[in-house]
Structure 1
Amino acid sequence: MPAIIFEEDGIVLKSFQEVREELRAEWRQVFNGIDLSPTTPDGHHVDLEAKVITDSFQAVQTALTNLDRRYSGGHFLELLAAFLGLERRQASYAAPLIKFSGEEGTVIPAGTTVTFEGAAYNFALEEEITIGNSGNASGYCVCDTAGQVDLKVGSWDMVSTTPSGVTCEYEGPTSYGGSDRESDESLRARMDAADITGLATADGMLTYLRNEIGPDISLIVNDEPTTDADGIPGHSFRVVVPTTNGTADSDIAQAIWVCKPAGIRPDGNVQAEATDRNGIKHVVKFSRPSVVGVDVKIVLTLYTEEAFPVDGTNAVKKAIEGWAFGTDGWASPEYTPGKDVILARFYTPILTVPGIGSAVIQAKKHDSETWSSSNIAISSQEIATLSSLSVEVGS
């Protein structure tokens, strides 16, 4: 009397009532004339046996359901991801770039703590810095709480009492880390997008490297025998890792070594050592592109048939920053190495805020004085980042 039936499209469980009736029929066949009503000891025994059988096979059904990534979650989804060489991304710590101001020569020691009004957490300076002749010095300050945090642009407070006479501020979104633990939905999407046709294929390498290093990397391959326009030698490849990616050079080199094809050389402007299974060290190259800061200013024209929020300009800023830098603290595909800044695409986040009819969008490289409505070209050894953002409503 099977309580679970395996069919081509899955499994079918019999109900408790069906299992109980089949058990009663079997008992009556063996014990002719037996009273199996629920109030008798024998009837109660049959009911308990039916419940045990039903519960057991419901557990089997749950386990089998968790083998399907569409319905699986938690630890079961992580087990399925492991078959693809993927791991769930754990929460990381935000590390905004903080500018300290004070007297030239002032040393700001590692561990100096800062925060901003209303924050429930502090940020500690990662490495010692010294204020230069400009009166400023900048350093990454790591949050003491893991996960994605909202950062206040403007003046911050010095929690540490030393050094004296120093002030600090946060100028923009430049940061690394600061992500919540990856959700089931995000992990499932990466599993769907993973290419496992072979680790040494370009797609397979990129899947592996993005899991090990971060989603903000890119891979450029030169299959031809001669050096290409990007300066990559023949039959070589280049892994490009943004400078905002906090992975150590040695860890990047090791990840590249693990997945690279035999006899094919990695190229780049940075090199680090990787170790093979025999303990032999190898020099592995990759690239860290220079960061091109981009200033953007937007003047909105409102659409009178919709209500523009009271804090609409801030809402537009948040929408743009989320679009430019992704969700859950991870990089957006909008700004990857070598990808141009296309101004018309700013309409994508802008128009998520109601009450906007149109916008005038201008931009410039941070070190330039000239604003333009033209796109900004980014080379393969550069990556764009949003340096400053101004949003206002026009008259």
Structure 2
Amino acid sequence: MAYFTPYIDSAGLHIPTYTDIRDDLIEQAKSIYGQDIYLENDSMDYQYLSVFALKISDTLQAVQLAYNNRSPSTSIGSALDAVVKINGIYRKMASYSTCSVTLMGTSGTLITDGIVQDASGYNWSLPASVTISNTGSITVTATCQTIGAISAQIGDITKIITPTKGWISVTNNVIASTGQAVEVDSALRSRQAISTENPSQTILDGIFGAISSLESVTRLKLYENDTGEVDADGLPPHSLTAVVEGGKDEDIANAIYVRKTPGAYTNGTTALLINNDRGQTFLIRFYRPAYVIVDTTITLKALAGYTTATTDAIKAAVANYQDSLQIGDDLSISSTWGAALSVIPSLKKPLFSITSLTIGRHGQYQSAADIVTSFNEVTQGDTENIVVNIV
């Protein structure tokens, strides 16, 4: 393209490229000093004009960035943070995983600044001061010392890092509530789009937008049964069912209460009492997702270029896919194949050939069929539960 004056139209801001600017400066120089002036790549005058062209291009790129930063769909970083504040939302900061752990020991034992460890080597901090009850045990919340989505399955947290006299053992009887990394721009843009539903005409959309914008909420599914009968998912008649991953119980209950219609029944196993300004008390219910741990067995034939790193990459890709589904989504066997094959740089030169692939709920029979989940279930992948057999 030839150089053109920057302009804005219905399609946005248009700016010339560095090459266009450089070539135009060369032509302008020739029109001033004559067409016989030497301006090839090895000349000092050419280098001088190139410097000018680069400075102009850099300035126009900054103008382009500033122009794009006016919209949540194109802004990035701190500019996106500023734009989404208009919608009353903020970028979700990184958080730490938490897990309920049971401590066993002598009644009355005081544990100060205790630390425990899981099977993967991550340390988890206990509350600053814990006293074992007269039953010989106490259940407290441990917080992972590593920020981000650190998972722990049932029975993973068993090692005592800070031994204390009278403290015998530790274990977790529930799956950890995973933390999260700092919210990326794409996720914040998506949440900003959802947040515009808060003042919508549809009550369900408003509740979805309100819960989605809460701190640490990572996944959400809403169901409405507006019939007079129990529906196919087993949900009560005339009910609202929310299944929420992450976030504080109180915040979620309040978001549902202030937006639901009068008289609507809220369905779920997590229940909180909400007091309004008129002294009335309402019971708000919702679900936490039930995690379906997936066992996967992949049998393959290794081809040229296959290494142990390929095995690790296959496990990671499959586990990431199994972790990426939304609440209530079935786990597709064909998509699991696709996740495994995605580690091959070029299908024209495959590193391996899959001969069979089976999946199943942890500890149950595996088959080549999809895993069908309930309305409140979500699959959870773990490389420890993925077996790769090479034949």
Q: Same fold (TM over 0.5)?
A: yes
Cα gap change, 1:91/1:343 in structure 2, threshold over 3 Å: closer, same or farther? same
Match among 353, 358, 368 for residue 354 of structure 2: 358
Match among 63, 68, 77 for residue 71 of structure 2: 68
What is the Cα deviation at residue 253 of structure 1?
0.7
Cα gap change, 1:129/1:372 in structure 2, threshold over 3 Å: closer, same or farther? farther
Cα gap change, 1:69/1:165 in structure 2, threshold over 3 Å: closer, same or farther? closer
TM-score by length of 1: 0.65
Matched, 1:309 2:304: no
**Equivalence map 1:1-395=2 (5 Å):** 65-95=68-98, 111-115=113-117, 122-125=123-126, 141-148=142-149, 158-162=160-164, 174-192=175-193, 196=197, 198=200, 200-212=202-214, 214-242=217-245, 245=246, 247-276=247-276, 278=277, 280-288=279-287, 291=290, 293-305=292-304, 307-325=305-323, 332=324, 334-336=325-327, 338-354=328-344, 355-366=351-362, 368=364, 370-386=365-381, 389-395=385-391
Looking at structure 1, the residues matched to 112 and 381 of structure 2 have their Cα atoms a distance apart, in angstroms, of 27
Aligned partners of 2:321 and 2:381 also within 8 Å: no
**Secondary structure at the residue paired with 2:257?**
helix
Q: Which amino acid in structure 2 is aligned with residue 308 of structure 1?
A: Y
Q: Percent identity between the aligned chains? A: 21
Looking at structure 2, the residues matched to 193 and 312 of structure 1 have their Cα atoms a distance apart, in angstroms, of 38
What is the Cα deviation at residue 335 of structure 1?
4.8
**Secondary structure at the residue paired with 1:162?**
coil
Q: Deviations over 1:260-306 (max 9, x none)?
A: 23453322233212344x3645424333257354341313313525x
What is the Cα deviation at residue 98 of structure 1?
7.2
**Secondary structure at the residue paired with 1:176?**
coil
What is the Cα deviation at residue 186 of structure 1?
2.5
Q: Across the two proteins, how many residue pairs are aligned to each other?
A: 333
Q: More relative contact order in 1 or in 2 (CA 8 Å, sep 6+)?
A: 1
Higher alpha-carbon deviation: 90-99 or 264-273: 90-99
Q: Deviations over 1:172-199 (max 9, x none)?
A: 9x43233221122321233345552706
Cα gap change, 1:165/1:226 in structure 2, threshold over 3 Å: closer, same or farther? closer
Unaligned runs of 5+ in 1: 14-57, 131-135, 326-331
Aligned partners of 2:106 and 2:166 also within 8 Å: no
Aligned partners of 1:313 and 1:393 also within 8 Å: no
Aligned partners of 1:291 and 1:385 also within 8 Å: no
What is the Cα deviation at residue 390 of structure 1?
2.9
Q: Which amino acid in structure 2 is aligned with residue 144 of structure 1?
A: Q
Q: Which amino acid in structure 2 is aligned with residue 339 of structure 1?
A: D
Aligned partners of 2:287 and 2:376 also within 8 Å: yes
Q: Which amino acid in structure 1 is aligned with residue 285 of structure 2?
A: F
What is the Cα deviation at residue 209 of structure 1?
1.3
What is the Cα deviation at residue 91 of structure 1?
0.6
Q: Which amino acid in structure 2 is aligned with residue 82 of structure 1?
A: K
Superposition RMSD in Å: 4.7
Looking at structure 2, the residues matched to 106 and 75 of structure 1 have their Cα atoms a distance apart, in angstroms, of 50
**Secondary structure at the residue paired with 1:286?**
strand
Cα gap change, 1:154/1:181 in structure 2, threshold over 3 Å: closer, same or farther? same
**Secondary structure at the residue paired with 1:341?**
coil
**Secondary structure at the residue paired with 1:217?**
strand
Q: Deviations over 1:227-254 (max 9, x none)?
A: 3233434332111235xx3x33222211
What is the Cα deviation at residue 314 of structure 1?
2.4
Looking at structure 1, the residues matched to 187 and 208 of structure 2 have their Cα atoms a distance apart, in angstroms, of 17
Cα gap change, 1:363/1:117 in structure 2, threshold over 3 Å: closer, same or farther? closer
Aligned partners of 1:240 and 1:286 also within 8 Å: no
What is the Cα deviation at residue 86 of structure 1?
3.3
Cα gap change, 1:105/1:290 in structure 2, threshold over 3 Å: closer, same or farther? farther
Looking at structure 1, the residues matched to 109 and 334 of structure 2 have their Cα atoms a distance apart, in angstroms, of 44
Aligned partners of 1:324 and 1:335 also within 8 Å: no
Looking at structure 1, the residues matched to 84 and 97 of structure 2 have their Cα atoms a distance apart, in angstroms, of 26
Looking at structure 1, the residues matched to 271 and 152 of structure 2 have their Cα atoms a distance apart, in angstroms, of 34
Looking at structure 1, the residues matched to 120 and 227 of structure 2 have their Cα atoms a distance apart, in angstroms, of 56
Q: Deviations over 1:134-158 (max 9, x none)?
A: xx99976312343355989989753
Looking at structure 1, the residues matched to 360 and 109 of structure 2 have their Cα atoms a distance apart, in angstroms, of 34
**Secondary structure at the residue paired with 2:290?**
strand
Cα gap change, 1:129/1:160 in structure 2, threshold over 3 Å: closer, same or farther? same
Q: Which amino acid in structure 1 is aligned with residue 356 of structure 2?
A: V
Cα gap change, 1:384/1:85 in structure 2, threshold over 3 Å: closer, same or farther? same
